[in-house]
């Protein structure tokens, strides 16, 4: 009883928690320090990565950015430029978006608005979830087997874009479904009450409301696709070419492929060039992410 | 899945033909995803079968030497175990890095961080997750090995290409996955559980360790399995940093080769279509597909079970 009364009448102890021993307090401190340090390691790793890339490549890029961005791949790494793979990546990105966005949004609309609750729907949903986890190199084998070889596209712009589109599809479907689901039921019921048909409701009410979220998800999926190397490597896209594609069936190169090629060469000048090209790629991806975040914060409707 | 138009009007028209066409088109989009899966399995199976016609299935599963033949008609030895060994090393090594860091980050984000810090940390992790794997590989080769591993463990012990650098690189890649899925699981733990523990006099650490983490354990487990599956499927960072020497070893400082790196090496060598080596790509792809599929299914099953607890 006496110990209880001292605790009750000692407000300073109450504030710190009456049952805490010195050991508990020490353990609490150690634990929060551990959490903080553990979290910090990831942040430091990211900072170190970006610093080391800039450290290795900034001088090369800043010396003559125009020449680097518009020059052609060369046998002499100190003179090499990234024009063809950079523009190739842009071509691939636009085509990938053209293929994957309509199909992904179409599938998402069907699954959210029209699909009956049955075994086919369940199977399609489970299948999409599994596709999202398939390694990108396996998508490369799909592209090699089906697009490049079976459909005789060869290592072309078309085969590359189709492969990246198939890879991005599950991600886009998931993002589009989430934003369609976020549109409240009252919007749909309101449209029905005004005599709209189901498709009219989806087309004129649900889709516009779900667009910002869908676009954000699509841009993030595309920025992942554009940083991918393995699928393009597997379907056999060339690294060193000197002309831009004029046709869907022409070969195309991509920035990550070039970075990979330069990284795997021994000379220091190649490492510098690889780091400089990595800076360009990171800047591109960061810009895409910024657009996605902007769209999300500016246009997303809070219901 | 969402509500159908209310069936209350006698004058409600039957769905128009145009509308039915649209729904059919949308259905086709959804079913296309099944075609993708069928395509993957068909492609892998077709050439893997070709491969096993010329190279024994038993030798593939039990062989300890991976030494593909170089030209057309040249035999070579195709034992997958050294590649599985390499993949296992990277998987375990990346978990050593990614699991503790990911879970600590998740606890910090879910239980400790203020909204402002969360607002900074979450996008930072997203950026880390979005860095192209080829750039992470460059970082591993040019920084982790020469500036981190070699000064600590010694030049003569650490090879230029080594499993440790690959593991750290892949570990950094799976950290955001583990952190974000684990955090979701922890935030899904009802606050009533936390409040009850606080009411009994627990400190924040005790609530985190004894209530939140156990309650979210299945979600954390699912995130770890998913991270492991990503690590197994990762290609570029391990190709660049961990080397291309298929071997049976447990030494993280040696050069190894993973399943994925072997695929990348074979396609770079431009093996002609129809050769045994070319067909071996698809046998490796099949192994990779099955391993990652198994882990993804396991992870999804754990998540489903976990959802039933609190909803």
- Does the beta-carbon distance from A104 to B29 stay under 8 Å? yes
What is the count of structural domains for chain B?
A: 1
- Does the beta-carbon distance from B39 to A274 stay under 8 Å? no
Give the separation between CA A147 and CA A100, rounded to whole angstroms.
15
State both tokens at A211: 């667009």
What length does chain A have? 303
Helices (H), chain B: 17-54, 57-62, 81-107, 115-130, 133-139, 150-153, 163-187, 191-199, 204-207, 213-215, 217-233, 236-241, 259-268, 276-310
Residue A22: predicted pLDDT: 86
What does the DSSP 8-state code read for residue A78? G
Residue of A nearest to B271 (CA): A236
- Smallest CA–CA distance, residue B14 to chain A, in Å, is 10
pLDDT at A4 over 80: no
Residue B158 in contact with partner chain A when CB distance is under 8 A: no
Judge whether B34 lies within some domain: no
Q: How many residue pairs from chains A and B have C-beta atoms closer than 8 A?
A: 283
Judge whether B225 lies within some domain: yes
What does the DSSP 8-state code read for residue A182? T
- Smallest CA–CA distance, residue A223 to chain B, in Å, is 8
Report the half-sphere exposure of B74 (CA within 13 A, side-chain side). 11
pLDDT at A8 over 60: no
Give the separation between CA A265 and CA B239, rounded to whole angstroms.
13
Average pLDDT on A37-42 reads 95
What does the DSSP 8-state code read for residue B74? -
- Smallest CA–CA distance, residue A246 to chain B, in Å, is 25
Residue A7: predicted pLDDT: 42
Q: Which of A46, A128, A256 sits opposite B134 (nearest CB)?
A: A256
Residue B74: predicted pLDDT: 60
Residue of B nearest to A191 (CA): B5
Residue A79: predicted pLDDT: 84
Average pLDDT on A207-228 reads 94
* Closest residue by Cα to residue B71 from B269, B304, B235: B269
- Smallest CA–CA distance, residue A263 to chain B, in Å, is 6
Residue the block writes with tokens 């991600």 = A171
Read off φ and ψ for residue B76, nearest 5 degrees.
Answer: 85, 170
- Does the beta-carbon distance from B108 to A17 stay under 8 Å? no
Average pLDDT on A16-36 reads 83
The CATH number of whichever domain residue B167 belongs to comes to 1.10.3720.10
State both tokens at B174: 């799976």
ipTM: 0.91
Q: Which residues of A touch B175 (CB under 8 A)?
A: 42
Range in A19-33, A41-55, A256-270, B134-148 with the lowest mean pLDDT: A19-33
Rounded CA Rg of chain A: 27
State both tokens at A160: 């590359």
CA distances (Å), origin B12, targets A20, A47, A116, B258: 69, 61, 20, 61
Contact A111, A125 (CB under 8 A): yes
Interface of B with A in 243-272 (CB under 8 A): 260, 263-264, 267-268, 270
* Closest residue by Cα to residue A86 from A298, A300, A234, A254: A254
- Smallest CA–CA distance, residue A247 to chain B, in Å, is 24
| Alpha-carbon dihedral B172, B174, B178, B181, rounded to 10 degrees | 120
Give the separation between CA B274 and CA B17, rounded to whole angstroms.
49
Judge whether B91 lies within some domain: yes
Mean pLDDT score of chain A: 90
Identify the residue with better confidence: B302 or A225.
A225
Is A75 strand, coil or helix?
A: coil
Contact B236, A260 (CB under 8 A): yes
Q: Which long-range contacts (CB under 8 A, 24 or more apart) does A241-248 make?
A: A241/A73, A241/A84, A242/A72, A242/A73, A242/A84, A243/A84, A244/A84, A244/A87, A244/A88, A244/A91, A245/A88, A245/A91, A245/A156, A245/A157, A247/A157, A248/A95, A248/A156, A248/A157, A248/A158
Q: Which residues of A touch B300 (CB under 8 A)?
A: 126, 129-130
- Smallest CA–CA distance, residue B1 to chain A, in Å, is 6
Read off φ and ψ for residue A179, nearest 5 degrees.
Answer: -75, -30
Q: Which of A107, A129, A285 sits opposite B29 (nearest CB)?
A: A107
Q: Which residues of A touch B22 (CB under 8 A)?
A: 199
CA distances (Å), origin B236, targets A135, B44, B137, B172, B180: 12, 21, 6, 14, 23
Judge whether B65 lies within some domain: no
Contact B193, B211 (CB under 8 A): yes
Judge whether B267 lies within some domain: yes
Judge whether B1 lies within some domain: no
CA distances (Å), origin A141, targets A37, A111, A218, A231, B266: 41, 28, 23, 7, 12
pTM, 2 dp:
0.90
Q: What angle do CA A64, A65, A71 make, to 5 degrees?
A: 90
Residue the block writes with tokens 């890029």 = A61
* Closest residue by Cα to residue A201 from A112, A302, A99: A112
Judge whether B14 lies within some domain: no
Residue B73: predicted pLDDT: 54
Is B202 strand, coil or helix?
A: coil
Contact B236, B134 (CB under 8 A): yes
Kindly report, residue by residue over A96-112, the tens digit of the pLDDT. 999 999 999 999 999 99
Identify the residue with better confidence: A298 or A192.
A192
Average pLDDT on A190-205 reads 93
Q: Which of B1, B46, B137 sits opposite A117 (nearest CB)?
A: B1
Q: Which of A45, A112, A138 sits opposite B285 (nearest CB)?
A: A138
Residue B166: predicted pLDDT: 97
Interface of B with A in 192-221 (CB under 8 A): 201, 203-206, 208-209
Interface of A with B in 69-98 (CB under 8 A): none
Give the separation between CA B133 and CA A286, rounded to whole angstroms.
15
Q: Which residues of A touch B133 (CB under 8 A)?
A: 227-230
Residue of A nearest to B5 (CA): A192
pLDDT at A186 over 90: yes
Residues forming beta bridges with residue B67, ordered by sequence position: B77
User: Taking the alpha carbons of B145, B147, B152, B153 in that order, is the dihedral positive or negative?
Assistant: positive
Its domain, for residue B245, covers 87-271+291-310
Is B203 strand, coil or helix?
A: coil
Judge whether B81 lies within some domain: no
Residue the block writes with tokens 């066409």 = B21
Interface of B with A in 2-21 (CB under 8 A): 2-6, 13, 15-16, 19
Is B76 strand, coil or helix?
A: strand
Rounded CA Rg of chain B: 24
Instruction: Please list the ranges in chain B whose pLDDT falls under 70.
Output: 1-15, 70-75, 270, 306-311
- Does the beta-carbon distance from B264 to A233 stay under 8 Å? yes
Helices (H), chain A: 2-8, 11-16, 22-63, 65-70, 83-109, 119-131, 136-142, 157-181, 185-193, 198-201, 207-226, 230-235, 255-263, 268-299
Contact A263, A274 (CB under 8 A): yes
pLDDT at A92 over 80: yes
B296 burial (CB, 10 Å; 0-12 / 13-18 / 19+) is buried
């Amino acid at each position: 009883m006496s110990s209880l009364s001292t605790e009750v009448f000692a407000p300073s102890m109450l504030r710190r928690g009456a049952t805490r021993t010195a050991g508990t307090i020490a353990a609490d401190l150690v634990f929060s320090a551990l959490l903080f340090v553990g979290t910090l390691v990831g942040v430091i790793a990211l900072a170190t990565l970006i610093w080391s890339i800039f450290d290795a490549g900034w001088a090369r890029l800043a010396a003559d950015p125009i020449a680097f961005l518009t020059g052609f791949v060369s046998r002499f790494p100190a003179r090499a430029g990234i024009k063809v793979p950079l523009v190739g990546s842009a071509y691939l990105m636009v085509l990938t978006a053209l293929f994957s966005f309509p199909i992904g949004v179409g599938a998402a609309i069907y699954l959210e608005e029209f699909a009956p609750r049955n075994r086919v729907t369940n199977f399609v949903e489970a299948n999409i979830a599994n596709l999202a986890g398939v390694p990108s190199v396996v998508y490369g084998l799909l592209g090699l087997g089906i697009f490049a070889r079976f459909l005789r596209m060869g290592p072309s712009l078309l085969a590359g874009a189709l492969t990246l589109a198939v890879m991005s599809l599950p991600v886009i479907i998931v993002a589009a479904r989430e934003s369609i689901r976020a549109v409240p039921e009252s919007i749909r019921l309101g449209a029905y009450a005004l005599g709209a048909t189901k498709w009219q409701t989806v087309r004129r009410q649900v889709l516009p409301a779900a667009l910002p979220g869908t676009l954000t998800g699509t841009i993030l999926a595309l920025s992942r696709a554009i940083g991918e190397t393995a699928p393009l490597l597997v379907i056999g896209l060339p690294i060193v070419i000197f002309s831009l594609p004029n046709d869907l069936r022409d070969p195309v190169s991509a920035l990550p492929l070039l970075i990979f090629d330069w990284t795997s060469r021994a000379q220091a000048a190649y490492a510098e060039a690889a780091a400089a090209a990595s800076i360009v790629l990171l800047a591109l991806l960061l810009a895409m992410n910024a657009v996605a975040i902007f769209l999300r914060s500016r246009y997303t409707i809070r219901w | 899945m969402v509500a159908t138009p209310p069936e209350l009007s006698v004058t409600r028209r039957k769905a128009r033909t145009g509308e039915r066409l649209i729904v059919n088109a949308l259905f086709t989009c959804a079913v296309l995803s099944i075609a993708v899966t069928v395509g993957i399995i068909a492609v892998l199976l077709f050439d893997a079968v070709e491969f096993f016609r010329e190279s024994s299935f038993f030798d593939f599963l039990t062989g300890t030497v991976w030494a593909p033949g170089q030209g057309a008609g040249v035999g070579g030895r195709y034992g997958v175990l050294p590649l599985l060994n390499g993949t296992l090393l990277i998987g375990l090594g990346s978990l050593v890095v990614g699991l503790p860091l990911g879970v600590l980050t998740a606890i910090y984000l879910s239980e400790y961080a203020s909204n402002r810090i969360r607002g900074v940390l979450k996008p930072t992790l997203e950026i880390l997750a979005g860095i192209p794997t080829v750039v992470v590989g460059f970082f591993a080769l040019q920084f982790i090995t020469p500036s981190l591993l070699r000064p600590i463990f010694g030049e003569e012990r650490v090879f230029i290409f080594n499993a440790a650098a690959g593991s750290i690189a892949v570990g950094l890649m799976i950290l955001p996955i583990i952190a974000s899925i684990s955090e979701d699981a922890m935030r899904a733990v009802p606050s009533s559980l936390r409040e009850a523990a606080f009411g009994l006099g627990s400190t924040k650490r005790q609530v985190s360790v004894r209530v939140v983490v156990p309650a979210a354990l299945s979600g954390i487990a699912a995130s770890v399995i998913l991270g492991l599956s990503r690590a197994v499927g990762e290609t570029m960072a391990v190709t660049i940093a961990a080397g291309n020497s298929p071997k049976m070893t447990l030494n993280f400082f040696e050069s190894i080769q993973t399943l994925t790196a072997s695929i990348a090496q074979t396609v770079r060598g431009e093996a002609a279509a129809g050769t045994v080596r070319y067909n071996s790509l698809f046998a490796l792809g099949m192994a990779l597909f099955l391993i990652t599929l198994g882990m993804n299914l396991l992870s999804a099953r754990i998540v489903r079970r976990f959802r039933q607890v609190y909803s």
